[in-house]
């Protein structure tokens, strides 16, 4: 009888540990996602500020960070926001034509990354940044 009680306690302890580990993993992931979502919002403001000041190197760095956050989160709404920022910057300032070829290729790579996550049609991005022509 004592042996069965000990076995029951061991089994319960294993179940409790497993349950606690799963809950801790869930909380860790939620915390990480909240932190990334917060950083995303701050970086959106930084990207808009960069393109309004026409600081294109800084803008490209901000876009890289935004795309990495979007990739981590996998949220199409956030990808659509990044695409909108790129489109607004290009329409307002025509920055793409002033970029070097390797910078243009970098923009193309970023556009492809965004389109994998976006739920909107990426036609505007492809047209503005001549992505399809560059890959042909």
How much is the pTM? 0.81
The pLDDT value recorded for residue 113 is 93
- Which own/partner pairs from 95-99 qualify as long-range (CB within 8 Å, at least 24 positions apart)? 95/51, 95/54, 95/56, 95/59, 96/128, 96/129, 96/130, 98/56, 99/56
pLDDT at 102: 93
Q: Of 118, 34, 111, whose CA–CA distance to 76 is shortest?
A: 118
Residues of the chain with pLDDT under 70: 1-11, 132-136
Residue 94 Ramachandran class (φ > 0 left, ψ -120 to 50 alpha, else beta): left
């Amino acid at each position: 009888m004592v042996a069965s009680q000990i076995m029951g306690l061991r089994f319960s302890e294993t179940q409790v540990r497993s349950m606690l580990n799963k809950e801790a993993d869930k909380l860790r992931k939620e915390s990480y996602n909240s932190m990334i979502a917060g950083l995303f919002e701050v970086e959106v403001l930084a990207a808009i500020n960069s393109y309004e000041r026409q600081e294109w190197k800084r803008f490209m760095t901000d876009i890289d960070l935004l795309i990495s956050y979007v990739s981590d989160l996998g949220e199409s709404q956030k990808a659509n926001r990044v695409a909108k920022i790129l489109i607004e910057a290009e329409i307002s300032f025509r920055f793409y034509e002033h970029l070097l070829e390797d910078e243009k290729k970098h923009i193309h790579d970023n556009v492809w990354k965004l389109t994998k996550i976006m739920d909107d049609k990426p036609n505007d991005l492809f047209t503005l940044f001549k992505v399809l022509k560059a890959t042909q």
